[in-house]
Amino acid sequence: MADIKIRVQDYTGEIKEIEAPTDMNLSLMELLKANEYPVLATCGGMALCATCHVKVEEGFEKLSESGDNELDMIDTLPNAEYNSRLACQLRLNDAMDGMLVRLAADENDL
């Protein structure tokens, strides 16, 4: 099973490419935590805390649509944009190969 590659932009602006398995049913949030990005994920992936907020700078259109819980949470974020997603609601899959996500929870202003 081939891994995919995802590019991540951290709060310093640095972009790194990380490898991601697609056969472990991991969420993007879990992948970011495993790679030691500062994602608190205080709700444990329930779409309730938005500390996993990312903006998908490339590849957004390839993602599955947000569920109602995710949309409701994103609606509460003052810094939400059209490409905002909760990383805990994104299951890693082949369509994400090459995507670029930017960490955005530091702008949440919660």
Site for ligand FES, rule CB under 6 A: 29, 41, 43, 45, 47-52, 86, 88
- Decide whether 50 or 92 has the Cβ nearer to ligand FES: 50
- Decide whether 89 or 99 has the Cβ nearer to ligand FES: 89
CA distance linking residue 49 with residue 43, whole number of Å:
6
Six token digits for residue 6:
């995802």
Q: Torsion over CA of 3, 58, 47 and 34, rounded to 10 degrees?
A: 40
Summarize the chain as % helix, strand, coil (round to 5): 25, 25, 50
Taking the complex as a whole, the smallest distance from the CB of residue 31 to ligand FES amounts, in Å, to 12
Taking the complex as a whole, the smallest distance from the CB of residue 1 to ligand FES amounts, in Å, to 25
Taking the complex as a whole, the smallest distance from the CB of residue 75 to ligand FES amounts, in Å, to 13
